[in-house]
Chain A
Amino acid sequence: MTDYLLLLVGTVLVNNFVLVKFLGLCPFMGVSSRTETAIGMSFATTFVMTLASLLSYIVNSYILAPLGLEYLTTMTFILVIAVVVQFTEMVVHKTSANLYRLLGIFLPLITTNCAVLGVALLNLYEQHNFFESIIYGFGAAVGFSLVLIMFSAMREKLANADVPAPFKGSAIAMITAGLMSLAFMGFTGLVKF
């Protein structure tokens, strides 16, 4: 139990996907200009990442590994992720129009989020078992959501701040992201594996 908890905390804070592993940077910069959209994106990503890490574990250990086709993992995982995203979109569209509106374009965009493919492949390389895979996927998504929402809150404040002209817009956002990354590096050593 403690191991799972440590893995979760470790993935959320210490090995944060965005700020330490530098995965999923495009949605991190792209949809962080408003907190509302950032929250929508976070929910969609959390859902898809957890489901994708679960499914890719099943596909890998019950189909690819017994047949000795490990070299096909990247291609197969992309297929799995695309299907999960499409399927999720249809179900959400049918069951909750409000959630669908909130997530909007972000749901299909997750297909191209490298953090999702990253979590599936890292599960494989670190030889996680079934539950570890789910926790790792969920933890990575929570970490992604955490920094995305924090970053968007900061950017909303920055929009009103008196930023020197050469740093306006994307430049100050990049600097902010860098400082956040520095801050998160401070968690290194919090959890010892």
Chain B
Amino acid sequence: MNTIIAILVLGVLAALFGALLGFASVRFKVQGDPLAEQLDALLPQTQCGQCGYPGCKPYAEAVANGEAINKCAPGGEDTIKKIADLMGVEVQPLDENHEADNSPKVAFIIEEDCIGCTKCIQACPVDAIIGTTKQMHTIIADECTGCDLCVAPCPVDCIEMISVATTTQNWQWDLDSIPVVQIN
């Protein structure tokens, strides 16, 4: 008799707590992953796919689930540092598969060599390449994010990445973009 009461009491308690948790999981349901959204805000939004994911948002979700934080080449060291701060992990150097040089670049098509195959147009994530079949293509430098996705598909290797020279127009005058802290 005593055993039955014990089992009953535990069963009722467990059912009660289970119901409470079930109610809570419906009542306090969270849409989306807040961490992934914060990570997404840190990424440069070039949607270049160099990290191996189809865009910045999927990479942010992967990082939230434990992917390595050092795969964003356009973001470079700054972005890695910010992600490390947010995730509470150690800063890592940029993944070795990527070049260390992360100065701003744009793609440039050597027009004499272009055969008009349109392969680079299909690869461009930001529609910064104009041209059509059997016509030479060119790149709108202002739209190009420097993601270098168009370089690999080109069958005649006529696309190269050139560094953007610093001019009075694009010079980073804003010192606050580099966090300056007083060291005691």
Report which A residues bind B (CB closer than 8 A).
34, 36-37, 59, 63-64, 67-69, 72, 75-76, 79-80, 83, 86-87, 90-91, 93-95, 97, 100-101, 104
B9 and A93 within 8 A (CB): no
Distance A76 CA – B30 CA, assembled complex (angstroms): 29
Closest 5 interchain pairs by CB? A97-B34, A94-B28, A83-B17, A90-B28, A90-B24
Among B10, B29, B86, which residue has its beta carbon within 8 angstroms of that of A75?
B10
Contact with A along B5-26 (1 / 0, CB 8 A): 1100110011001001100110
Knowing A36-B88, A37-B88, A76-B13 are in contact, say whether A69-B21 is a contact too (CB < 8 A): no
Known: A76-B13, A90-B28, A101-B35. 20 other contacts (CB 8 A): A34-B88, A36-B88, A64-B9, A67-B5, A68-B2, A69-B5, A76-B10, A79-B13, A79-B17, A80-B17, A83-B17, A83-B21, A86-B24, A87-B24, A90-B21, A91-B24, A91-B28, A93-B28, A97-B34, A101-B34
Distance A26 CA – B29 CA, assembled complex (angstroms): 31
Knowing A67-B9, A94-B30, A101-B34 are in contact, say whether A87-B88 is a contact too (CB < 8 A): no
Contacts of A101 in B (CB 8 A): 34-35, 38, 86
Chain A interface SS verdict (over half): helix
Count, A-B residue pairs, CB within 8 A = 53
Distance A36 CA – B86 CA, assembled complex (angstroms): 12
Contacts of A72 in B (CB 8 A): 6, 9-10
Q: How far is the CB of A75 from chain B (nearest CB, A)?
A: 7
Knowing A37-B88, A100-B34 are in contact, say whether A69-B24 is a contact too (CB < 8 A): no
Interface size class of B (residues with CB under 8 A): 20 to 34
Q: How far is the CB of B61 from chain A (nearest CB, A)?
A: 15
Contacts of A59 in B (CB 8 A): 13
Distance A117 CA – B147 CA, assembled complex (angstroms): 54
Interface-centre pick from A68, A90, A91 (highest chain B CB count, 10 A): A90
Distance A75 CA – B86 CA, assembled complex (angstroms): 38
Contacts of B86 in A (CB 8 A): 101
Distance A72 CA – B8 CA, assembled complex (angstroms): 12
Question: What are 19 A-B contacts with C-beta separation under 8 Å?
Answer: A37-B88, A63-B9, A64-B9, A67-B9, A72-B6, A72-B10, A75-B10, A76-B10, A79-B17, A86-B21, A86-B24, A87-B21, A90-B21, A91-B24, A91-B28, A93-B28, A94-B29, A97-B34, A104-B88
Contacts of B10 in A (CB 8 A): 72, 75-76, 79
Distance A80 CA – B17 CA, assembled complex (angstroms): 8
Q: How far is the CB of B5 from chain A (nearest CB, A)?
A: 6
A87 and B20 within 8 A (CB): yes
Who on chain A is nearest to B37 by CB? A97
Contacts of B28 in A (CB 8 A): 90-91, 93-95
Knowing A34-B88, A36-B88 are in contact, say whether A69-B9 is a contact too (CB < 8 A): yes
Q: How far is the CB of B90 from chain A (nearest CB, A)?
A: 10
Distance A97 CA – B39 CA, assembled complex (angstroms): 13
Q: How far is the CB of A71 from chain B (nearest CB, A)?
A: 8
Contacts of B30 in A (CB 8 A): 93-94, 97
Distance A93 CA – B31 CA, assembled complex (angstroms): 10
Contacts of B5 in A (CB 8 A): 67, 69
Contacts of B14 in A (CB 8 A): 79
Distance A86 CA – B2 CA, assembled complex (angstroms): 31
A90 and B25 within 8 A (CB): yes
Q: How far is the CB of B75 from chain A (nearest CB, A)?
A: 20
Q: How far is the CB of A68 from chain B (nearest CB, A)?
A: 8
